[in-house]
């Protein structure tokens, strides 16, 4: 037990540059409290002490603002930064070395029974406000951008952003989408920027509107010229 607590403290020191001491983690970090309480609640859940398990998770949520169902399976070196508003559903499965930020939801869709929450692999970062909804798998070494809504499987070694979530980088190579929504690999030397498929689409629409406006202006000019010539011919006849 003490070895596991020491490991959880070490995880905080690894991933939060703001931490100053182990005592600060023990007394002031809701993510640390939530994961320790979940370990107990999950043990009770596995031993079919369902009411006690839910009671522990409910009390933990009251004090930490983090709602983890006792049935969720969470691996080692799990870290919740800040943590307010994090929700993890019953059938969620989380691998090792996973980091969640505030406002993340690992939820389900509908009222079906059985597996209805996402499965996360190892070494995954889910940024603030992201929503992963449904029974699908997120592969290893994936980053999910803040505010994204992910509804389907994500292959390993990808970066996902947007609503709905789209893969913008795979194996370190940026990805863009053609008009038929198929992925197309591309080389981008601007490594300091993160591709934004929504902004790309807006830019394409703006360029298309400008092209149509130019064509419409040319058509109107041609029409006015034709009308002027027609009026001139009628005047000449009279």
Asked if 127 and 233 sit in the same domain, the reply is no
Asked if 121 and 17 sit in the same domain, the reply is yes
Asked if 33 and 146 sit in the same domain, the reply is yes
First vs last C-alpha separation in the chain: 106
User: According to the model, what pLDDT value does residue 162 have?
Assistant: 85
Asked if 124 and 228 sit in the same domain, the reply is no
In sequence order, the 6+-apart residues with CB closer than 8 A to the CB of 59 are 37
Identity of the highest mean pLDDT range in 115-124, 164-173, 179-188, 198-207: 115-124
| Rounded Cα distance, 221 and 198, in Å | 35
Asked if 89 and 190 sit in the same domain, the reply is yes
Asked if 219 and 121 sit in the same domain, the reply is no
Q: Which residue segment(s) compose the domain that 48 sits in?
A: 2-194
Total count of domains within the chain:
2
In sequence order, the 6+-apart residues with CB closer than 8 A to the CB of 145 are 127, 130, 159, 160, 161, 162, 165, 194
pLDDT digits (tens, 9 = 90+) for 85-142: 999 999 999 999 999 999 999 998 877 788 899 999 999 999 999 999 999 999 999 9
Asked if 151 and 204 sit in the same domain, the reply is no
pLDDT digits (tens, 9 = 90+) for 55-92: 999 999 999 999 999 999 999 999 998 888 999 999 99
User: Do 136 and 117 contact (CB within 8 A), yes or no?
Assistant: no
Asked if 222 and 149 sit in the same domain, the reply is no
Mean pLDDT of the chain: 84
Nearest Cα to Cα of residue 4 among 49, 30, 44, 35: 35
User: According to the model, what pLDDT value does residue 7 have?
Assistant: 84
Asked if 162 and 200 sit in the same domain, the reply is no
Asked if 124 and 96 sit in the same domain, the reply is yes
Asked if 190 and 204 sit in the same domain, the reply is no
pTM for this predicted structure: 0.73
Tokens of 215: 């064509």
Place of tokens 């007394």: 27
Asked if 69 and 92 sit in the same domain, the reply is yes
């Amino acid at each position: 037990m003490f070895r596991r607590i020491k490991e959880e403290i070490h995880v905080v020191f690894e991933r939060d540059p703001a931490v100053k001491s182990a005592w600060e983690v023990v007394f002031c970090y809701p993510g640390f409290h939530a994961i320790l309480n979940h370990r107990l609640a999950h043990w009770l859940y596995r031993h079919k002490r369902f009411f006690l398990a839910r009671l522990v998770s409910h009390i933990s949520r009251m004090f930490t603002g983090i709602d983890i169902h006792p049935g969720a399976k969470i691996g080692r070196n799990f870290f919740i930064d800040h943590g307010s508003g994090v929700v993890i559903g019953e059938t969620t499965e989380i691998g090792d070395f996973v980091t969640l930020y505030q406002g993340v939801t690992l939820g389900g869709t509908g009222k079906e029974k059985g597996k209805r929450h996402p499965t996360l692999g190892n070494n995954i970062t889910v940024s603030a406000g992201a929503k992963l909804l449904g029974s699908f798998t997120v592969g290893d070494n994936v980053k999910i951008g803040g505010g994204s809504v992910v509804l389907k499987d994500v292959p390993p070694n990808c970066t996902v952003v947007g609503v709905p979530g789209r893969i913008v980088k795979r194996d370190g190579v940026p990805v863009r989408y053609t008009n038929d929504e198929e992925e197309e690999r591309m080389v981008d030397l601007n490594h300091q920027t993160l591709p934004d498929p929504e902004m790309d689409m807006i830019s394409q629409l703006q360029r298309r509107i400008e092209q149509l406006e130019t064509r419409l202006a040319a058509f109107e000019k041609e029409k006015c010229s034709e009308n002027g010539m027609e009026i001139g011919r009628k005047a000449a006849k009279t």
